[in-house]
Chains A and B, each alone.
Chain A
Amino acid sequence: MNWKNTTALSALAGGLLGVHATAVSAAELEFYFPVGVNAPAVETIQTLTDEWAAQNPQHSVKAVYAGNYEETTTKALTAANAGDPPAVAVLLAIDLFTLIEEGVIIPISDLADSPEEQAWLDGFYDGFMNDTKFDGKIYSVPFQRSTPVFYYNKDAFREAGLDPENPPETWDEMIEMGKQLTKRDDNGNVTQWGTRIPTLGLGGAWLFGGLVVSKGDVLSTETGMEARIDTPATIASLEFLQELAAEEVMAPGGISWGDTPKAFLEGQTASMWTSTGNLAFVNENAEFDWGVGFLPGGDGPGAPVGGGNFYIFEETTDEEREAALDFIKFMTSADSAARWSMATGYVAPRPDTWETDMMKAYAEELPQALVALDQLPYAEREFATFQRAKVTQYLVEAIESVVTGSQDPAAAVAEAQEKADEVLGDYR
């Protein structure tokens, strides 16, 4: 309730002193943001925030680093339930349904109602706008968006006699090439695996969505009430993961998200499937020649989109909402988005960003950065439903139980589907 008190006090003080309020109304913004990648993200956000504040001296903004995505969502929701939400926050795009159900966010398309602002909203890539909409309204603005891509060690490809400019494009090629990339020491222990797809936890579920998309299906739809966990595509995807382990292309058992970039940099794996958000980290630390390709697909290319969007919270004053919208416009402007994208590897969400000189020079120097953009037309929304955390847990359990060998694919997805339907049934 801080802002209320402050506003009331300053109004009172203004009244007592007989100061006439100026036309420009001031807002004190609180801005929560998470960091989900290995990059100097906090400094970049702080710098951009300070620049906006300098351009808008009538407002003030406090950028609060709130941990990883999950922690930031928890903090924002807890603050909102206590009646003191941040004005604006970057939260997962897939938190949309949770935030709507809790009734804590406002549709940005209602706020950005002038023709210029509508044009601005139309200026984002469609691939990133799909998961901002509910019931015909736009609730969030893309900011730190990513898709997973296939990183590979070109030196390892050369060593195995493979063409370093032709990474695998299909699952069959992945297995074929992967077998040649797996290396063993004299004792028969593997020193370098062919590939590494994180399969544990939420990161695993995210990448799994890409496998399913490449088989021509999706895990969830825009209604937020449908989970498609038990489909031929999911079973085929799980069987692909099993086959990678059986053919000794990938380490057996569950594979963690967090260790993956390190394993790639240390040469433990010749390739990895992970977020473009790790581009800057890999670029800085790789001591070998590396490339990036589309995720190898089952029936063609396919990937999930992921990452975080800007949301504006419900319990805010009109001044705060206007200021928050202006802040979001600044953060997603061509110049800011270019700097943010270069610092992290996130895919800049608007075409105008890619046309800046800064971005052109960057793409020339690091052509790997363009792959995610080219892959975007093949990308689908990330798994999201109402009660997302709970329903995603069922999906995670199904994937984990298959990769650890506790259950076969068909039984695992059937069980998860049944549990998901039970939860989502209440919403239909």
Chain B
Amino acid sequence: MNKRLPIGLGFILLVIPCSLLAAFTHYPAVKALVNSMWNNASSFRPSKFVGFENYEAMLADDRLSQVLLNSTLYAIGTVPLAIGLSIGMALLVNSKLPGTWLMRLSFFMPTMLPLVAVANIWLFFYAPGIGLASQILSSFGLPSINFLGRTDTSLVSMMVVAIWKEAGLFMIFYLAALQGIPANLKDAARLEGAGSVRVFIDVVMPLLRPTTIFVAVNALINAFRLVDHIIVMTRGGPNNSSALLLYYIYEVTFAHRDFAYGATLTVLMVVILGLLAALQFWVLNRKAHYQ
């Protein structure tokens, strides 16, 4: 058991993960940085080094500022709501109510579907006049709303899809955490006369904090990482009101075929995600040392 691995074998074992990391993470990141310093070449224009010209264009890009605003709103909107909803669902399925297995299944179902399928389902929900949302509205005598065709509702509609999709997964983490909370702590609080709300706020919530931070990190990453539903449902429209950063990168790179500017935006995204990760680990180190 305690016999040390020969150094050669250790080296060989390290080579595989390290080369994968280098080939698929570090090399593309460095390559993006290099590409962002060159112009977008075609058979008409030779490729040439342009230095920070692409970054200057980025600063002057109105569409990018709209996209960054959208991404920020999207993250602020989806992360807390997904966390709140998943805690609520976890409490519900953790209770002693009958039929919790059915609830667990139905809450978890959206998580198992691929996002593209989810987006297609919601496309029908949102379809004005014919969709489920319109029919619910009309049964209350309300006019149908063109959710995806209005600049003031399209982004919110995307957030709802993301929350619906993600909350089920986060519920599983909270459920595991809830079941890990020793009953004696809650019993002790009740003996002291605390009501169930008080028990939840002062006993359960602090013990859920590591889970909350983990879930928040994941939700935030997903807010930047998942854009399949945007591609399927709105293509960033109308008038860029639902375009997120990653979708914009996709469009610039593969639809406009502006690889240089796509690389520039990718560098921006890597920087933003790096800063967020640093911030979160800082919070994680300060706040999560509970148990």
Q: Contacting chain A: which of B27-35, B76-84, B249-257?
A: B249-257
- With A74-B255, A253-B146 as known contacts, state yes or no: A263 contacts B237, CB within 8 Å: no
Is B211's beta carbon under 8 Å from chain A?
A: no
B43 and A200 contacting across the interface, CB-CB below 8 Å? no
B130 and A189 contacting across the interface, CB-CB below 8 Å? no
Which of the residues A187, A253, A266, A397 comes within 8 Å of B141, measured between beta carbons? A187
A101 and B237 contacting across the interface, CB-CB below 8 Å? no
A390 and B240 contacting across the interface, CB-CB below 8 Å? no
Which of the residues B42, B141, B150 comes within 8 Å of A102, measured between beta carbons? B42
Is B218's beta carbon under 8 Å from chain A?
A: no
Q: Contacting chain B: which of A58-66, A111-119, A400-408?
A: A400-408
Q: What are the residues of chain B within 8 A of A258 when measuring CB–CB?
A: 123
Whole-angstrom CA separation of A254 from B45 in the bound complex: 37
Whole-angstrom CA separation of A268 from B127 in the bound complex: 11
Within A286-343, the residues touching B (CB, 8 Å) are none
Q: What are the residues of chain A within 8 A of B42 when measuring CB–CB?
A: 101-103
Is A39's beta carbon under 8 Å from chain B?
A: no
Whole-angstrom CA separation of A55 from B142 in the bound complex: 61
Is B239's beta carbon under 8 Å from chain A?
A: yes
Is A252's beta carbon under 8 Å from chain B?
A: yes
Which of the residues B44, B237, B255, B257 comes within 8 Å of A200, measured between beta carbons? B237
Whole-angstrom CA separation of A60 from B214 in the bound complex: 54
Within B111-152, the residues touching A (CB, 8 Å) are 123, 127-130, 138, 141-144, 146, 148-151
Whole-angstrom CA separation of A400 from B241 in the bound complex: 10
- With A74-B254, A101-B43, A103-B43 as known contacts, state yes or no: A200 contacts B238, CB within 8 Å: yes
A253 and B138 contacting across the interface, CB-CB below 8 Å? no
Nearest A residue to B128 via CB reads: A251
Give, as a whole number of angstroms, the nearest-CB distance from A296 to chain B: 22
Q: What are the residues of chain B within 8 A of A216 when measuring CB–CB?
A: none
Which of the residues A102, A201, A255, A396 comes within 8 Å of B43, measured between beta carbons? A102
Which of the residues B43, B123, B146, B255 comes within 8 Å of A254, measured between beta carbons? B146
B239 and A404 contacting across the interface, CB-CB below 8 Å? yes
Q: What are the residues of chain B within 8 A of A102 when measuring CB–CB?
A: 42-43, 257
Whole-angstrom CA separation of A390 from B127 in the bound complex: 28
Interface centre among A259, A268, A396 (most CB of B within 10 A): A259
Whole-angstrom CA separation of A77 from B253 in the bound complex: 12
The number of chain B residues with a CB under 8 A from chain A is: 31
- With A251-B128, A252-B146 as known contacts, state yes or no: A406 contacts B256, CB within 8 Å: no
Q: What are the residues of chain B within 8 A of A223 when measuring CB–CB?
A: none
Whole-angstrom CA separation of A227 from B107 in the bound complex: 51
A390 and B239 contacting across the interface, CB-CB below 8 Å? no
Nearest A residue to B130 via CB reads: A266
Q: What are the residues of chain B within 8 A of A410 when measuring CB–CB?
A: none
Question: What does the 1/0 interface line of B55-74 toward A look like (CB < 8 Å)?
Answer: 00000000000000000000
Whole-angstrom CA separation of A102 from B151 in the bound complex: 35
B257 and A397 contacting across the interface, CB-CB below 8 Å? no
Whole-angstrom CA separation of A216 from B44 in the bound complex: 33
Is A363's beta carbon under 8 Å from chain B?
A: no
Whole-angstrom CA separation of A70 from B258 in the bound complex: 15
Is B229's beta carbon under 8 Å from chain A?
A: no
B237 and A254 contacting across the interface, CB-CB below 8 Å? yes
Is B235's beta carbon under 8 Å from chain A?
A: yes
Whole-angstrom CA separation of A342 from B36 in the bound complex: 49
Question: What does the 1/0 interface line of A238-254 toward B look like (CB < 8 Å)?
Answer: 00000000000001111
A400 and B129 contacting across the interface, CB-CB below 8 Å? no
B149 and A262 contacting across the interface, CB-CB below 8 Å? no
Give, as a whole number of angstroms, the nearest-CB distance from A193 to chain B: 8
B240 and A253 contacting across the interface, CB-CB below 8 Å? no
* Across the A-B interface, the 4 shortest Cβ-Cβ residue pairs: A103-B43, A254-B149, A254-B238, A268-B129
Query: Can you identify 17 A-B contacts, CB atoms within 8 angstroms?
Result: A102-B42, A185-B138, A187-B142, A187-B143, A200-B149, A201-B235, A251-B129, A252-B146, A253-B149, A254-B148, A256-B149, A258-B123, A262-B127, A266-B129, A400-B237, A401-B239, A426-B45
| Other A-B pairs, 13, CB within 8 Å; known A101-B43, A103-B43, A401-B238 | A70-B255, A98-B257, A100-B43, A185-B138, A251-B128, A251-B146, A253-B146, A253-B150, A253-B238, A262-B127, A400-B239, A403-B238, A404-B239
**Which B residues form the contact surface with A (CB < 8 A)?**
42-45, 123, 127-130, 138, 141-144, 146, 148-151, 235, 237-241, 251, 254-258
